[in-house]
Every structure is written in structure tokens, then in C-alpha cells.
């Protein structure tokens, strides 16, 4: 059995583009899902029953579905539901965003709830209104609290981008497996794929550990 | 948009068979991951120093690499290295266990280290052996504290079995794809799939939460 | 209370002073528990009134009902001649005119001392940043913390934090200051610095309602002392009466339990 590891170097360009798309997917999804999560959390904490229930339902739904199923469903349902012909990339971002927003919604809700009641009372005692208090006092503290959890969510998201390969988005996993199919160099390409994810993911995991040590709330 | 669910019903038994495999794979994965992860976590906490860094390296590596990659590598590449071909189901079991046991090990480590040293000291002062202390004092409290995290492991394991569809394990996700492709009614098929997974997953975390609420006081010290 | 009864109770108070706050038969319940059971009292202009009594007597609840953090169930709280509104926005406008200092300070941890003192005027009164910060610096100097304006709460001692909290409340130029056990969470060494600031405020003529366990402070600084137990006022009068010649047995036993020997 001979191995030809040069296939990896020869396709380095394509692999690098795959990495770029992986990063793009993760960054775009996070940019959508952080505000998305905050909105969902605020809805959940709202006094308006309909908003609170809608948010709870959304979060429960997407936390209890396999992401790969959401990806497939988005791919088939969205063109019919919206009448638009969206690219696999956009579909992938939509699926990922729905999923991560739901997780962030729960994260921010817990973060906001963890801010002591006395803080809101002190703000009210000064004459601040509900929305002002949320904006100036509660949310800034909550964001700091949830930073470690958001970092973990980022690492998970980065890995989950591999799942949009099933709808032919050209990120790292799809690119690697495409090259494998073209060159028949199974072990080399799959190991390279694993190695690249490892090289990207290992430092991120260590960074999350560091953030947890530095910013984690000690009970 | 007119929906026609009859293709789903027609393939009902086919899909149910897939569901059975989903559950079987989930249960086996969870059991194996708890055993392997528990062992890794305990060795990391109490074992000899030279074993710690390989275990930490393993855990961190599994945190860095996506499940899909581990699945695909185990099914396609591992046979090339070992010369030994694993059928899809067993390849999936190996890959999922390898991945999830890393998280279990982390949970065990976090749970054990959350028990105050004072507890251990009190037990040793009573004359208990180190092993007895771990078994009777530390672990029972730690296990209660780990329950919520274990609940999420259950949920993750079941969700990850759906990814095994990619390596041709004929579990529910895979069979849904087949039916969707043959019937040209993907929306109906996947809608049913979403309902099925939700109905399985939603109670799992709820039950764990309820059990935890009942037992939480046992872990407080 | 009838007019005659009111006159009797308030004998010993300056006859021409105007009440800033009037409580008439205030009742407050939490589920089945009645925490305030018909409380009637007054806080007059420029007076320092101290509320004392055992834990659970309802003192803090009365304070929180004053600025609307809790809503009363029955009775009336009259502020500056008008009853307190029962809607959120109306209550909000009232709160601007009252300052509150909390037992746990409740400084905003993500802002400096200066930021904490300035945020009230900036957010609520739409004061410009420059003016708000200049006023804040002056107030911090007044409470003896001019050099700590750039410090964050976690860098300050308990006593320093509470003084910043007082400055924060003063920044809104309130007509009355409400203190909810301001020194209960402090180390003994730092209690003095906070009490001194409060004494200074009293001497400057601020109307103050103080819930406290510091009997020496109440004896020396208060114009009027109200003793509460289990949701009712058991005795009220000038400090001389309460601390040296209480007329009610329960007052006597409460004070002796605190080790108060007069």
C-alpha cells in the first residue's frame, strides 16, 4: 500500500479556500446569532405572553433537533416557503443561524437572569426606565457574564460548519472529500482534513479554557 | 403549498426500522461513552501523572475536531490503516464513542474537582482509605452534580447519530433521505423527521432536569 | 388617625414644619403574609427620621413602598402633598425626586465611581456628559473620595462604595433621601465614615428617612424615631423619649436586646 501525501500539497490552494469558507460561515453565523440570541432572550423575559411563549418555543425547537436535519430541511423547505432560490451557502448560514441563535437565546436569558435584582432596583431608584435599565445596566453586565459560554458556542459552531458539506457548500469538509473522490487518495485526504481541523480547533479550545479561567464566574 | 404525507406513511415501516437503529446506536453510544469517558476522567483525576497528558491531549483533540470528520475517518480511513473493515454501524459506534467520551471525561473531571477538599480531608480523618473516600464520599456527590451535564450528553449523542447517515448507517436520518429522494416529497418527509426527533429529544432533557431537582440536595456540601 | 390622635403623636415636633412624606394606614401584603399592618407616620421637611425595630418588622418594606419599588395594597403614601401614583411611569417621575441608598450598595460594577455618580443625571435628566461628570466629581469630593473617581467598585472598600452610592443618589438632587440599613453590610472600621457623611447631610438640612440598627447614630442625629415591630408602629417620638424613657414595654425589651444601656 503506497501513500501519496503530495496530493495534499498539490491541492493546498483548494483546501485553503475551504478553510476560508469555513471561517466565513462561522463568522457570519455568529454575527447574526449574537443579536439573534439577545432578541430571543429579551422576548423570553418580556411581560407580553405571546413574545415570551414564541421565544421559548423557538429555543426549545432548535435545541432539540439534530443540526444536520435542520440543514437538509432548510435546503428543501426554504425555496418552497420563500419562493427564493437561495444558494447552498446562504441556506447553510440560515440553518446554522437558527440553531446557534436558539442556543444563544438560552445563554443570554440565563446571563440576564443572573444579574442581581438589586442592580435593577438601584437603577429604578435613580428614576431610570425599564428599557434604559436593560440597556445601560443589565445587558452590559450580562454580556460579560456570558463571554465564556459564547466562546464555547463559537468552537462548537466552527465544528458544526462541517455539516453544511452535505448540501454541497464548498467549505473545508466538502472540499477535502471532493478531492478524495477525484484523486482516490482516501487516507491522505481524510487525514489531512482531520489534521487541518485539529490545527484550527486545538488553539481555539485552549483559548476557551483560558477565557473560562479569566472571566468565568466563580460560584 | 400542498403537502402530501402519503409517501411517508407508505414507507412507515421502513422509517420505523431506521428509528430503531437510531435508538440502538444512541443507547450503545451513551453506555460506551459513559464507561470510557468515566474511566478517562477518573484516571485523569486520580491516576499516575504520566497518563494525564496523553488523556488531556486526547480530550482536547476530540474537542477540536468535528464529529463528521471523526465518523468519516473511522469508516473510510481506519480500514486502510488497520486492514480491518468495520461495518457502518460499528464504525459509527466507535467514532461517536471516541468523540463523546472526551466530553464525558471533562464532565467527570469538573464534577470531581468541584467537591471541596474539606470533604476528602474529613473522610481521611475518619480513617477511610483513599479509594474508599473516592467511592463513598466524593463520587456520589460528584455524580449528582454532573447530572445536568450528563443530560446534555444524552441529547448530544442522539443528535449525533443523525450524522452517521453520512457514512451509510441506515438509521432514521439516512432512511428519511432515501424516502425523500424516492418520493420527491422531501418537505413532508423531513417535517415528519423533525417531529420524530423533537418528540424523542424533548423529554430526555426534561426527565434529567426532573431527576436532578429531586436529587440535587444530595450533592450539596 | 383622627386629628387629635395625630396631634398627640406628633407632639414634640416643630409645629410649623411641613410634611414631605405622609403615610396613612399603609397596608402591604406578600401572598398571605401582612408585612405592613396600618402604618401611619410623617417625615417632615428637613427632618431626619430613623426607623428602628427587629428584623421582619417591615421597616425596609415601608421604605421600598415609598419610592414605588413595592406597591402598597391599602392606605396612602403622600409625597409633597400628592398621593403616590400607581402606574409605572408616574412612579418613575416620583423616583427622580427621591434618593435611595441600599444595604448592599448596588454600585454598577462596570462603571467607575465617577461613572456611577454621573449616570443618573445623564440617563434620566439628559444632562450633558461634561456637566454630569463635573457635578459627579464635586459630589465625590463632598463625600471624601475625590481621588477615587477613576476607580471601579471592586477596587473600593465597603465604606467607600457606600459613600459613592450616597453621592450617586445625591446627584439627582433629591428632595428626600431614603437609607435602607446603609451600614449593616459594612465592617465596623468603615461604618464611621459612612455615618459621618450622613450626619453631614443631616446638618445641611436634607430630609432623611433612615432604616438602621445604629442606635448611637439615631440617638445623636435623628429628630424623630419610629419603632416598628411586626408591621406596626409600637412607639414614635423624639430620640430622648425613645432611648431614655420609652413608654412601651416592647421598645424597652428590643433596645435591651441590642445591648443598649442608654
Chain segment A102-126, per-residue pLDDT in tens: 999 999 998 998 898 999 999 999 9
Chain C contact for A141 (CB, 8 A cutoff)? yes
CA–CA dist B154, B27 (Å, integer): 9
Phi, psi of B4 (to 5 degrees): -130, 105
C-alpha cell at C192: 464611621
What's the confidence (pLDDT) of residue B119? 83
Chain C contact for A116 (CB, 8 A cutoff)? yes
Partners of residue B57 in chain A, C-beta under 8 Å: none
Chains touching A (at least 3 CB pairs under 8 A) are B, C
Place of cell 406596626: C232
Going by the DSSP 8-state scheme, the letter that residue C241 receives in this structure is I
**Average pLDDT over every residue of C145-172:** 94
CB of A186 within 8 A of CB of A4? no
Cβ-based neighbour number of residue B137 at 10 Å: 19
Element (H, E) at C62: helix C59-66
Ordered DSSP codes for B80-122: HHHS-PPPHHHHHHHHHHHHHHHHHHHHHHHHHHTS-HHHHHH
CA–CA dist C79, B64 (Å, integer): 63
Cβ-based neighbour number of residue A6 at 10 Å: 10
Going by the DSSP 8-state scheme, the letter that residue A115 receives in this structure is S
- E-strand ranges in chain C read 19-30, 33-44, 48-52, 74-79, 82-83, 98-101, 176-180, 207-211, 224-229, 232-237
Residue B119: exposure state from Cβ atoms within 10 A (0-12, 13-18, ≥19): middle
What's the confidence (pLDDT) of residue A218? 44
Cβ-based neighbour number of residue A135 at 10 Å: 13
Residue of A nearest to C125 (CA): A127
Which pLDDT tens digits describe chain B residue by residue (221 residues)?
577 888 888 888 888 999 999 999 999 999 999 999 999 998 998 888 888 899 999 999 999 999 999 999 999 999 988 888 999 999 999 999 999 999 999 999 988 888 888 888 888 888 888 888 888 888 888 888 888 888 889 999 999 999 999 999 999 999 999 998 888 888 889 999 999 999 999 998 788 778 878 877 776 76
What's the confidence (pLDDT) of residue C11? 65
Length of chain B: 221
CB of A108 within 8 A of CB of A43? no
What ipTM is given for this predicted complex? 0.89
Chain segment B177-200, per-residue pLDDT in tens: 999 888 888 888 999 999 999 999
Residue closest to C209 by CA, chosen among C26, C56, C52, C90: C52
Residue of C nearest to A123 (CA): C120
Residue A219 pLDDT level (bands cut at 50, 70, 90) = very low
User: In the structure, do chain A and chain C come into contact, i.e. share 3 or more CB pairs under 8 Å?
Assistant: yes
CA–CA dist B160, B66 (Å, integer): 11
Residue C15 has pLDDT above 60, yes or no: no
Place of cell 484550527: A200
**Average pLDDT over every residue of C81-87:** 87
| Backbone torsion region of residue C25, taken as left when φ is above 0, otherwise alpha when ψ lies between -120 and 50, otherwise beta | left
What's the confidence (pLDDT) of residue B9? 84
Residue A216 has pLDDT above 80, yes or no: no
3-state secondary structure of B41: helix
Chain segment B113-142, per-residue pLDDT in tens: 888 888 888 888 888 888 888 888 888 888
- For A1, A20, A167, B179, the CA distances from A91, given in Å and listed in that order, are 41, 18, 9, 22
Phi, psi of C77 (to 5 degrees): -120, 120
- Considering CB atoms only, which of A118, A124, A137 is closest to C95? A124
C-alpha cell at C227: 419603632
What's the confidence (pLDDT) of residue B36? 95
CA–CA dist B195, A65 (Å, integer): 9
Chains touching C (at least 3 CB pairs under 8 A) are A
Residue closest to B108 by CA, chosen among B39, B160, B157: B39
User: In the structure, do chain C and chain B come into contact, i.e. share 3 or more CB pairs under 8 Å?
Assistant: no
CA–CA dist A37, A102 (Å, integer): 6
CA distance A162 to chain B (A): 7
Q: Under an 8 A CB cutoff, do C67 and A122 touch?
A: no
C-alpha cell at B137: 464520599
Range of weakest confidence among A117-121, C8-12, C106-110, C228-232: C8-12
Residue C10 has pLDDT above 80, yes or no: no
Q: What does pLDDT average to over chain A?
A: 91
Confirm whether pTM is higher than 0.90.
no
Report the b/e string of A139-178 with b at 16+ CB within 10 A.
bebbbebbebbbbbbbbbbbbbbbbbbbbebbbbbbbbbb
CB of C207 within 8 A of CB of C160? no
Residue of B nearest to A209 (CA): B60
Residue C246 pLDDT level (bands cut at 50, 70, 90) = confident
Partners of residue C89 in chain A, C-beta under 8 Å: 129
Residue C25 has pLDDT above 50, yes or no: yes
Residue A144 has pLDDT above 60, yes or no: yes
CA distance A112 to chain C (A): 14
CA–CA dist C208, C178 (Å, integer): 6
Calculate the CA C72 to chain-centre distance.
18
Chain C contact for A217 (CB, 8 A cutoff)? no
Give the best-scoring range by mean pLDDT among A5-14, B164-173, C2-11: B164-173
What's the confidence (pLDDT) of residue B138? 84
Instruction: Mark out the alpha helices in chain B (DSSP H runs).
Output: 6-10, 12-46, 49-64, 67-72, 78-82, 88-113, 117-125, 130-133, 139-161, 172-183, 186-215
- Considering CB atoms only, which of A127, A129, A144 is closest to C172? A127
Residue C253 has pLDDT above 90, yes or no: no
Half-sphere exposure of C202 (CA within 13 A, CB side): 23
Strand partners, C101: C179
CA–CA dist C85, C92 (Å, integer): 9
Amino acid at each position: 500500500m503506497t501513500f501519496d501525501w503530495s496530493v495534499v500539497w498539490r491541492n493546498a490552494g483548494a483546501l485553503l479556500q475551504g478553510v476560508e469558507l469555513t471561517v466565513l460561515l462561522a463568522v457570519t453565523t455568529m454575527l447574526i446569532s449574537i443579536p439573534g440570541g439577545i432578541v430571543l432572550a429579551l422576548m423570553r423575559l418580556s411581560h407580553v405572553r405571546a413574545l415570551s411563549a414564541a421565544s421559548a418555543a423557538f429555543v426549545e425547537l432548535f435545541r432539540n433537533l439534530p443540526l444536520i436535519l435542520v440543514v437538509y430541511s432548510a435546503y428543501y423547505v426554504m425555496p418552497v416557503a420563500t419562493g427564493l432560490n437561495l444558494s447552498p451557502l446562504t441556506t447553510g448560514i440560515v440553518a446554522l443561524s437558527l440553531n446557534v441563535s436558539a442556543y444563544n437565546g438560552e445563554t443570554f436569558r440565563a446571563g440576564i437572569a443572573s444579574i442581581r435584582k438589586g442592580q435593577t432596583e438601584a437603577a429604578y431608584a435613580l428614576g431610570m426606565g425599564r428599557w434604559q435599565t436593560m440597556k445601560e445596566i443589565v445587558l452590559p453586565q450580562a454580556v460579560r457574564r456570558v463571554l465564556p459560554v459564547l466562546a464555547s458556542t463559537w468552537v462548537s459552531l466552527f465544528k458544526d460548519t462541517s455539516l453544511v458539506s452535505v448540501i454541497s457548500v464548498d467549505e473545508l469538509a466538502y472540499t477535502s472529500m471532493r478531492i478524495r473522490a477525484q484523486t482516490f487518495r482516501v487516507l491522505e485526504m481524510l487525514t489531512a482534513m482531520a489534521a487541518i481541523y485539529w490545527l484550527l480547533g486545538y488553539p481555539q479550545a485552549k483559548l476557551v479554557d483560558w477565557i473560562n479561567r479569566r472571566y468565568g464566574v466563580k460560584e | 403549498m400542498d403537502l402530501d404525507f402519503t409517501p411517508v406513511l407508505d414507507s412507515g415501516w421502513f422509517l420505523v426500522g431506521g428509528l430503531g437503529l437510531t435508538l440502538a446506536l444512541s443507547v450503545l453510544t451513551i453506555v460506551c461513552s459513559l464507561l470510557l469517558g468515566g474511566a478517562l476522567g477518573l484516571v485523569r483525576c486520580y491516576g499516575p501523572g504520566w497518563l494525564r497528558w496523553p488523556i488531556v491531549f486526547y480530550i482536547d483533540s476530540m474537542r477540536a475536531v468535528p464529529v463528521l470528520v471523526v465518523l468519516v475517518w473511522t469508516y473510510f480511513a481506519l480500514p486502510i490503516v488497520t486492514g480491518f473493515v468495520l461495518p457502518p454501524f460499528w464504525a459509527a459506534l466507535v467514532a461517536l464513542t471516541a468523540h463523546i467520551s472526551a466530553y464525558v471525561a471533562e464532565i467527570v473531571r469538573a464534577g470531581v474537582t468541584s467537591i471541596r477538599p474539606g470533604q476528602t480531608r474529613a473522610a481521611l480523618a475518619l480513617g477511610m482509605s483513599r479509594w474508599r473516600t473516592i467511592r463513598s464520599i466524593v463520587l456520589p456527590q460528584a455524580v449528582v452534580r454532573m447530572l445536568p451535564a450528563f443530560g446534555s450528553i444524552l441529547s448530544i449523542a442522539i443528535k449525533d447519530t443523525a450524522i452517521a447517515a453520512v457514512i451509510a448507517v441506515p438509521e432514521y436520518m439516512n432512511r428519511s433521505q432515501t424516502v425523500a429522494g424516492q418520493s420527491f416529497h422531501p418537505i413532508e418527509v423531513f417535517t415528519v423527521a423533525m417531529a420524530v426527533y423533537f418528540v424523542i429529544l424533548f423529554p430526555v432533557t426534561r426527565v434529567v432536569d426532573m431527576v436532578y431537582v429531586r436529587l440535587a440536595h444530595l450533592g450539596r456540601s | 388617625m383622627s386629628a387629635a390622635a395625630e396631634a398627640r403623636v406628633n407632639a414634640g415636633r416643630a409645629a410649623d414644619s411641613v410634611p414631605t412624606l405622609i403615610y396613612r394606614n399603609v397596608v402591604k401584603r406578600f401572598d398571605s403574609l401582612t408585612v405592613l399592618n396600618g402604618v401611619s407616620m410623617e417625615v417632615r421637611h428637613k427632618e431626619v427620621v430613623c426607623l428602628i425595630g427587629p428584623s421582619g418588622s417591615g421597616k425596609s418594606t415601608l421604605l421600598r413602598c415609598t419610592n414605588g419599588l413595592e406597591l402598597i395594597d391599602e392606605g396612602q403614601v403622600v409625597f409633597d402633598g400628592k398621593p403616590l401614583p400607581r402606574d409605572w411611569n408616574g412612579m418613575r417621575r416620583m423616583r427622580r425626586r427621591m434618593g435611595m441608598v441600599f444595604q448592599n450598595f448596588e454600585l454598577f460594577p462596570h462603571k467607575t465611581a465617577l461613572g456611577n455618580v454621573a449616570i443618573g443625571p445623564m440617563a434620566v435628566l439628559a444632562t450633558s456628559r461634561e456637566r454630569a461628570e463635573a457635578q459627579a466629581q464635586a459630589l465625590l469630593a463632598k463625600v471624601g473620595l475625590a481621588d477615587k473617581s477613576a476607580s471601579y467598585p471592586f477596587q473600593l472598600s465597603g465604606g467607600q462604595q457606600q459613600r459613592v452610592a450616597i453621592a450617586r443618589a445625591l446627584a439627582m438632587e433629591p428632595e428626600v433621601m431614603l437609607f435602607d440599613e446603609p451600614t449593616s453590610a459594612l465592617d465596623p472600621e468603615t461604618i464611621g465614615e459612612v455615618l459621618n457623611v450622613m450626619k453631614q447631610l443631616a446638618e445641611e438640612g436634607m430630609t432623611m428617612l433612615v432604616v438602621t440598627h445604629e442606635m448611637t447614630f439615631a440617638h445623636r442625629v435623628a429628630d424623630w424615631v419610629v419603632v416598628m415591630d411586626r408591621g406596626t408602629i409600637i412607639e414614635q417620638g423624639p430620640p430622648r423619649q425613645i432611648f431614655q424613657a420609652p413608654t412601651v414595654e416592647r421598645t424597652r425589651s428590643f433596645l435591651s436586646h441590642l445591648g443598649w444601656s442608654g
